[in-house]
Amino acid sequence: MVDAILFPIPAFFLQVSLSALNPDNALWLATLGFAGCMIGTPIGYAIGRTSGYRLLRRFVKQEKLDRVESLFRKHGEMAILIGSFTPIPFKLFTVASGCTNFPLRKLMLYAAIGRAAKFYIVGLLFYAYGRSAEHMVHGKTLTFIMLAAGALLATVWLLMRVRRKRLNARPNAASKPEDLCP
């Protein structure tokens, strides 16, 4: 839970270490990590809403902060999805969402999709392959799996967005009664 708020060590490292010790508990650990993330996400969001700018200004220059805000307003959904898979601490995305007044329900939705995929991919690897999954996680295998999962989610998101734009751009033929008769 604290990974989504302020804890400096990402939950991923804790999940990998504990899953390597006892692979039979890997799915349970994935569930705990996911649930904790979902509890911590709105707390990180609230921190961003209330004091995020003061906090971020300590670490980021104003020009970069303005740029991040602009990009996050434009591509927040994609940032959250991709951020769920990167080694970048997820708390940056929750706090940034609050700072930019990104809708909380969208943050929760995209965080749920991305974080569930990340936690359960790791959990399933350890559950299926036992301790030998540790070599996959520390090697390039997990990187490729995460990139593929992130790319798949990003593609689905992009296709849904294009479809929604097409549906909104399509004129509604039955909107006026006089349009129905020649």
> Could you state, in order of their start, the residue ranges of all structural domains in the chain?
2-170
First to last CA, the chain: 62
For residue 91 the two structure tokens come to 């708390």
pTM comes to 0.69
| pLDDT tens readout for residues 95-114 | 888 888 889 999 999 899 88
The mean predicted confidence, pLDDT, of the chain is 78
pLDDT, tens digit, 9 for 90 and up, residues 114-145: 889 888 988 888 888 887 777 666 656 666 76
| Rounded distance between C-alpha atoms, residue 12 and residue 40, angstroms | 15
Average confidence (pLDDT) over 77-95: 80
